[in-house]
Amino acid sequence: MRTTVKLSAALAAAAALTLGLSACSAPSDSSASSTTKGKDADPSAKLVIAASPTPHAQILNFVRDQLAAKNGLKLEVKVLDDYNVPNTATQSGEVDGNFFQHKPYLDEFNKKNKTDIVPVVNVEIEPLGLYSKKVTKISDLGEGSTIAVPNDVTNEGRALKLLADNKIIELKDGVGSSATLKDVKDAKGVKFTELEPAQIPPRLGDVDAAIINGNYAIGAKLNPAKDSLALEKAEGNPYANFLAVKKGNEQDPRIVKLAKLLNSDEVKKFIEEKFSNGAVIPAFGAVKS
C-alpha cells in the first residue's frame, strides 16, 4: 500500500481526500495512552482504538458506553474515514489498535509497508454489494456499461468476483477473489472505473453501477437487502473485520478485555438489532491464518 508516514501528515492527507478526522474526546487527550505495551501494559490506562465510522466506530461506541466502564476498561474511539491511516497510527504507536479491516487487506498492507500489525479477534462481516441509480436489474448491465470498483487490491478482487458470480463479466480460471483487472477474461463490453472505496457512494450517479463496501453503503443510507442488485454471500466469507494491534501487543490486558467484550452476547445483539437489514453480520471468533 502506501509508505508509512507520521500520523500528523497522514491525517492532513486524509482530511483533504475524505471526510477527515473526528475524535470522541478533546484533541489534547487523543494520543495512545500507555508507553508500556504488551502483557505488561497498565490495565487501568486508557485504550485508544482507531476505527472507520460505520459500523466499526458504532460498535466500539456501544462497547465504550454500555460495557467498558463496568468491566474496568477506559476506551477511547478515534474515528478515521480513511483506509490507510489506522494501520499507520497503530504501527507508530499513536493509537493502541484499530478496527476496520479484513485479513486479505491487512496482509497486503503489511507486505507493502513492511509493518507488523496482527489480527486479534473477528467481530463482523459486511457483505459487498452492487448498486445502481440507473438500472434496476443485473441484465441491464452489459456492452457500454460503466461500473465503479474499489481500487485497493483485496476489495477490487472481491468486487470482480461478485461481478463474475453474477455473470456480468468472466474471470480467468482459478482466479477467485484475488482477481485484478488483468484477470478479466471477458469484460463483455463493461468499462471499469477504479476509485477509493470512500469515494464510490458519492459517485454512484456518475456510473451505471458500482460495487460498494458494506460500511460505506450504510453511511450512504443504502439498504443492502433492498437496494443492491447483487450481494456478496456471508456464509463462508473470508472477509470478517477484526480488532488489530501491532505485533507483541496481543496480550495487552486492555486488548484482551476489549476482544472479549467485542465477542460478547451484548455486542451480538447490538449488531443484529442495529443492522437488521443484513448489512453487518456478527462473525465472532479467532482469525484464520
Q: What is the model's pLDDT at position 276? A: 85
What pTM did the predictor assign? 0.72
pLDDT of residue 33: 52
pLDDT of residue 46: 97
Where exactly are the structural domains of the chain? Answer: 7-126+238-285, 129-231
Give residue 35's pLDDT.
57
CA distance 145 to 118: 39
Query: Would the CATH topology of 7-126+238-285 be identical to that of 129-231?
Result: yes
**Fold for the domain defined by 7-126+238-285:** D-Maltodextrin-Binding Protein; domain 2 (3.40.190)
User: Architecture of 129-231 per CATH?
Assistant: 3-Layer(aba) Sandwich (3.40)
At 39 the pLDDT is 82
The predicted structure's pLDDT at residue 233? 80
Residue with cell 483533504: 16
Mean pLDDT per 10-residue interval, the chain, length 289 residues: 36 37 35 65 95 95 98 97 92 97 92 97 94 97 97 90 96 88 97 96 98 89 92 81 97 98 98 90 89
